[in-house]
Amino acid sequence: VFAKPLAAGNHSLVLPSIGSCVSLANRSVSYCEFEGLSCDTTYVFTVQEVCRDQLGNSNMSADSNAITTPRSSRCDRKAPAPHSMTAAALNASGVIVAWSYDGALYDCIFHRWIVSAAGSDGHTDCLGLDQADTRRCVVGSLRSNTEYRFLVRVSCLNSAMSSGWSTSSEPVRTPPLSAAAPVFTSPTPLANDSILLAWKLPSNGIGDCEFASWDLLGRQLPSQDWTSVKGCRNLTSKCTTTCTAVGLDADTHYVFK
């Protein structure tokens, strides 16, 4: 027998932990008393016949009529879970997440929102979560070109009243990190028709680029036409950081990129 709370965004099934609805091993039993529910909470109930061979288990029954447990001065009410979690990539390391929260906090003394990023070992870097009216934040310090799902819950100072997790957002992928532009060092003339070109990578490297080749272009001033550089073609090794431009005109100014 399962209880299903009808709070916004909460689709979990609750199993009994005490009372006569625990371990119903007699097939002739057709009723029980479900204990351990939250007070002032609306539930529906469903039942399933479970077999030794689980392939034979029945489908869940149709839901019962909704019933609300009474409010009692001895019964504290947990904060309901947030819902409608969404996520959208902002950049290669950041995602904007947003959620809805329609219900009251009930007996929860608000502490903060907790945002979890599945796919990042639970690590999040999200500011402004200590404000009860916050409904969105930017999660930073994520890996580029990586898929994540996000969840959120309410954390209370009286921790027993903290909400459960929301359902997760749809998966979102951070964009790949582009390769940084190489930096030329000073070219060195070798002869009347050749120049040694050298370059280096910035400290952030090539990002998520799957290296294919270095492409070098040059132009003869004052022309605006860029062309491939003879002697610097087909540079398919990432370790290559120099080449010699040949076939140049003597006493002529060139620029390269």
Give the model's pLDDT for residue 194.
96
Per residue in 83-115, pLDDT (tens digit) is: 999 999 999 999 999 999 987 898 899 999 999
Task: Tell me whether the omega of the peptide bond preceding residue 5 falls within 30 degrees of 0, making it cis.
Answer: no
Give the model's pLDDT for residue 172.
96
Give the model's pLDDT for residue 6.
83
3-state secondary structure 59-122: CCCCCCCCEECCCCCCCCCCCCCCEEEEEEEEECCEEEEEEECCCCCCCCCEEEEEEEEECCCC
Closest CA to 99 of 56, 139, 157, 67: 139
| Mean pLDDT computed over 155-179 | 92
Q: How far is CA 224 from CA 181, 190, 197, 254, 256, in A?
A: 21, 24, 20, 11, 12
- Tell me the backbone φ, ψ of residue 74, rounded to 5 degrees: -95, 5
Give the model's pLDDT for residue 227.
96
Structural domains for the chain: 1-75 (no CATH), 83-173 (2.60.40.10), 183-256 (2.60.40.10)
- Range in 24-38, 78-92, 131-145, 227-241 the model is least confident about: 24-38
3-state secondary structure of 5: strand
Residues for the chain: how many in total? 257
| Mean pLDDT computed over 175-182 | 92
Give the model's pLDDT for residue 201.
84
Higher-pLDDT residue of 218, 72: 218
Burial of 117 (0-12, 13-18, 19+ CB in 10 A): buried
